[in-house]
Amino acid sequence: MRKESAAQGNSTPVGHTLSPLLPLGTVIVVIAALVYLAAIPSPPSLMDDMDAVQAQIARNMLESGDWVTPRINGVRYLEKPPLKYWLIALSYAVFGIRDWVARLPVATSAVCLCWLVYRIGRWGICEPVGFYAGLVLACSVGLWLFTRVQFSDPILALTITLAIWSYFRCLEPTEDQHGRWSAVGAAAVGTGLLVKGLVALVFPVGTLLFYLALTHRLLDRETWQRLHPWKTVAIILGVAAPWHVVATLQNPPYFDFASSCEPFRWRGFFWFYFLNEHVFRFLGTRYPRDYNWVPLGLFWLLHAVWFFPWTAFVGGLRRLDIRPLDRASRLRLLAVCWIGVVIGFFSFSSRQEYYTLPCYPAIALLLGEAFARAGRAVDWGRKILFAVFLALTAALVGILIAVRDLPGAGDISRALSPNPELYTLSLGHMADLTLAAFAYLKLPVTLAAVATVVGALVAWRLTGYRLALGLALAMILFFQAARQALIVFDPVLSSRELAQALQSAPPGGLIVDDQYYRFSSVFFYANRSGLLLNGRKTNLEYGSLAPDAPPVFISDGDLPRLWLSSQRWYLVAEEAQLRRVERLVGRQRLFLVKASGGKGLWTNQPLPGSLRAGRREG
């Protein structure tokens, strides 16, 4: 195989050179590790909702030995393929079942993705472009933000990036190992199918088809000879098909092609996974509907935030030539197709803020080259960043002055304004913030102000690679401030304290009010199953219809029979639901064990130190 090196003969002038003390690939890995691997220790704890759900599914697989059908609380959970669960379970097997271990696969994938973007830029354009592209991705707001929860998208982005690069290499005239690269690309696609389903195939294929059409090579025989389509199909099927086949056989009926989403009917794995979770989700008719759509205009504009601070240099993109004249320009054209396919796909489908993460590497490549070229666009970018960082510093200092006399000890939930209707958006809890809440966030706000001061000084004083490394330092400081804020929010976003109280209490049955996702970290940290009060909805509703579904779903009508019996029971619920529960079982039979983050743990029999309903711990 030819040695990977900076593309020769490419018309890609850069405004400055690099003289690193370490290999630039190593620098990218070190910086990415500081951003992502350094953020996995707990606290903050695994959050309720998806975060703890993924961790618990992996534990169930490891302990049960069933590596085919994911389950939570004994109920089939068929929404996503199993590779991420396998990776977490294997991490448990090596390091033990701990919350930080559950974060390893996503964090490691983020580090690998940054390094891979560096290699692509280095091979396709030049060393500085690869370095800056890797740095852009590692130190952007979006990738950091969307690795705080166990989303599959960073792992998916890694497989899609490897697949697209591999097939691009197949198509390059100077590449004589196209057979090997087509095999790598096919293996990446097959792996991606086990991460998040058919989008792992749609995005690389769509990107390549648009690229080939624009370069007038779509119908060339040599193109398809280089891509080795039959071998590609065989490898993809060899990697991805076994799990899909076995999952279909283990979860009959096998083939149901009903075109409607009828509630309260079990149709097996095939219908739910392929039709409901792929086709109907794209069309916005999936059942049950447990997600919101980000408005389209906001969905597009938010990318300026996700790539802060590097979006300040977006003006340099005007100088990038995408006419397919050499390897560098062809790579730029590929990146444009890549971005267009991913963002275009979700412009017509259901969309959350993080769904376009698979095209972040392409955006990073373009922004990395725009920065590497220097010139007036970078000079203007420095001025913009100086002004933005200065404004942010002023805002943060103003907040600190405004809350300097407000109490900031205890539980931050008392200062929040809940907006549960927004919680199906990944950033929904941001709307809960009030000025009083910032009194609890004085340390994170102070750290963030330090980061913005550093950013302003860097933008004002530094140029070239010093500017890039200075901005990376500012963002690392900012990410640490954000992590401290998540620790303050821990009682609100996680129910770990309730789980610890449950573990310390005498044995008894567990009842959780509302759906499993609402208090999923209780199940992880207490490592137990429980009954779900009015929880037969959203993600577990379909699994509850399976013939062998466990009887873990109860209604308000069942609660008095259990709670008023001689057996000890524990109830986890939001404090806002306490009056409803009191009407069902009587206030005199509710004893508070622990309150935290606007949630509580109650029991039906008194414990030493427990309080009756309506009274909080001092």
The full 3-state SS of 355-423, as one line of letters, equals CCHHHHHHHHHHHHHHHHCCCHHHHHHHHHHHHHHHHHHHHHHHHHHHCCCCCCCCCHHHHCCCCHHHC
pLDDT value at position 589? 93
pLDDT value at position 424? 61
Element (H, E) at 611: strand 611-612
pLDDT value at position 421? 64
pLDDT value at position 363? 98
Mean pLDDT throughout 383-408? 96
Q: What does the pLDDT look like over 478-496, one tens digit per residue?
A: 999 999 999 999 999 999 9
pLDDT value at position 614? 53
DSSP letter for each residue of 509-553: EEEEES-GGGGHHHHHHHT---EEET--SGGGTTGGGSTT--S-E
Query: Does the pLDDT at position 20 exceed 70?
Result: no
CA distance 127 to 20: 11
Mean pLDDT throughout 402-419? 86
pLDDT band at 415 (very low <50, low <70, confident <90, very high): confident
Q: What does the pLDDT look like over 247-297, one tens digit per residue?
A: 999 999 998 888 776 666 899 999 999 999 998 888 878 887 766 678 899
**The tokens 């610890």 sit on which residue?**
500
- Express as a percent the part of the chain with pLDDT over 70: 92
For 326, 416, 495, 615, the CA distances from 594, given in Å and listed in that order, are: 65, 19, 11, 11
pLDDT value at position 425? 63
CA distance 26 to 118: 10
Radius of gyration of the chain (CA): 26
Query: Does the pLDDT at position 592 exceed 50?
Result: yes
Burial of residue 417, with CB atoms counted within 10 A of its CB: 0-12 exposed, 13-18 middle, 19 or more buried = exposed
Amino acid identity of residue 201, one-letter, is: L
pLDDT value at position 11? 47
With vertex at residue 598, the alpha carbon angle to CA 529 and CA 36, rounded to the nearest 5 degrees, is 75
Six-digit token pair at 203? 């995005």
pLDDT band at 609 (very low <50, low <70, confident <90, very high): low
CA distance 591 to 587: 8
Pick from 176-180, 219-223, 355-359, 421-425: least confident = 421-425
Q: What does the pLDDT look like over 213-243, one tens digit per residue?
A: 999 999 999 999 999 999 999 999 999 999 9
pLDDT value at position 472? 98
CA distance 295 to 232: 37
Contact, 464 vs 373, CB < 8 A?
Answer: no
Rounded mean pLDDT of the chain? 92
Strands (E), 52-130: 71-72, 75-76
Q: Is 607 helix (H, G, I), strand (E, B) or coil?
A: coil
Contact, 456 vs 393, CB < 8 A?
Answer: yes
pLDDT value at position 608? 80
Q: 3-state SS of 576-591?
A: HHHHHHHHHHCHHHCE
**The tokens 């996974």 sit on which residue?**
273
CA distance 90 to 16: 44
Mean pLDDT throughout 572-590? 95
- DSSP H helices, 251-351, are 268-270, 281-283, 296-301, 303-306, 327-347
Contact, 215 vs 333, CB < 8 A?
Answer: yes
pLDDT value at position 121? 98
CA distance 193 to 37: 25
Mean pLDDT throughout 439-451? 96
513: left (phi over 0), alpha (psi -120 to 50) or beta: beta
Contact, 358 vs 160, CB < 8 A?
Answer: yes
Six-digit token pair at 172? 């390059």
Q: Is the dihedral of CA 369, 157, 307, 355 positive or negative?
A: positive
pLDDT value at position 612? 65
Q: What does the pLDDT look like over 78-111, one tens digit per residue?
A: 999 999 999 999 999 999 999 999 999 999 999 9
For 57, 106, 124, 494, the CA distances from 92, given in Å and listed in that order, are: 12, 14, 38, 21
Residues 6+ apart with CB under 8 A from 416: 432, 433, 434, 437, 492, 598
pLDDT band at 18 (very low <50, low <70, confident <90, very high): low
Q: What does DSSP say about strands 509-513 and 569-574: parallel, antiparallel, or unpaired?
A: parallel
263: left (phi over 0), alpha (psi -120 to 50) or beta: beta
Query: Residue 336, Cα to own-chain centre: how many angstroms?
Result: 23
Contact, 512 vs 531, CB < 8 A?
Answer: yes
Burial of residue 21, with CB atoms counted within 10 A of its CB: 0-12 exposed, 13-18 middle, 19 or more buried = exposed
Q: What does the pLDDT look like over 335-354, one tens digit per residue?
A: 999 999 999 999 988 788 89
Torsion angle of C-alpha atoms 73, 74, 75, 78, degrees rounded to 10: 100
Q: Is 444 helix (H, G, I), strand (E, B) or coil?
A: helix
Query: Does the pLDDT at position 9 exceed 50?
Result: no
Q: What does DSSP say about strands 611-612 and 531-533: parallel, antiparallel, or unpaired?
A: unpaired
